[in-house]
Homo-oligomer: A and B are copies of this chain.
Amino acid sequence: MIHGVVPPVVTPLTAQGALDEASLAGVVDEQVAAGASGVFVAGSTGEVALLSDEVRVRALQVAVSAADGRVPVLAGVVDTGTARVVRQAERAEEAGADAVVATPPFYIAPHPAEIARHFRVVAAAVSIPVVAYDIPSATHVPLSASVLRELAGDGAIAGFKDSSGDIAGFRRALGALGDVPALTGSELFADLALELGAAGIVPGLGNVDPQGYVRLSDAVARGDLPAARAEQERLIRLFRIVEVADRGRIGATAAALGSFKAAMWLRGAIDSPRTSEPLGALLPSEIDAVGAILEAERLL
């Protein structure tokens, strides 16, 4: 289940800030049509940290319904502590998720042994697979290869998603995981991760250009590295959309997610570029700059 291109879909909002169910269903459809092997709902790109529990569940239901069994739906169950993640995971299972994606506990400062216990408790609480998620830029809690080795050996985790940016660490993790599949969250070295043995990729930028990462993944699969490299270089150029916003006014999260949604809106994939509170919005001129990059890359 955990392989191929599994985009972390955005959570489209209406101009008033409510969940835009129709747009979300459309995004899922578009991804499936483009060749995605799954969709990941309520990941970091899906603004999981900013969504209420009700919206998380509803977004998941909409995605499950839209996927309609064609591809599995993974659900982010990001929360600070074990009991909280267990509740998120139970709700996700109930809403039809095929797997849940959980980080180590954060806000607290856990020991690796506590991180391992966390995942074991979560895994025991649900009957769907648990994917361990390493995103230290958000959690400030790294997930080590030795914890992964232990959890993979136990069967406590069924997958690993790496958004650390550390490819040496990813390589170490691949060795530690054995048969348990690993996904990279990197938009910028998806090609390399696949060459090294990643089972799949989870690129936020895949929301903007669904075909691109599928082509990249297919190229690696058939051993055509020049094609993979060229596709990756093109996607790296496209990723410059995250740099258009004035960072003296909005934060890094707002700049990145705002540019993804702006690009999707310009391409007609969603009805509004709006992001969740308290993220600042891109200015019209910044949205224009996103559009210019899309045009330069022939995506508009």
Contact = CB atoms under 8 A, between A and B. Distances in A.
A171 interface: yes
Copies of this protein in the assembly total 4
Contacts of A82: 50, 276-278
Contact of A277 (B78, B121, B196, B248): B121
A79 B52 CA distance: 10
A49 B105 contact: yes
A33 interface: no
Contact of A171 (B49, B175, B188): B188
Contacts of A192: 167, 192, 195-196
A113 B245 CA distance: 14
Given A138-B108, A186-B168, A277-B118, A84 B50 contact: yes
A252 B219 CA distance: 40
A49 B80 contact: yes
Interface string A162-175: 00011110011001
Nearest to A223: B225
A107 to B, nearest CB: 4
A53 B88 CA distance: 11
B189 A277 contact: no
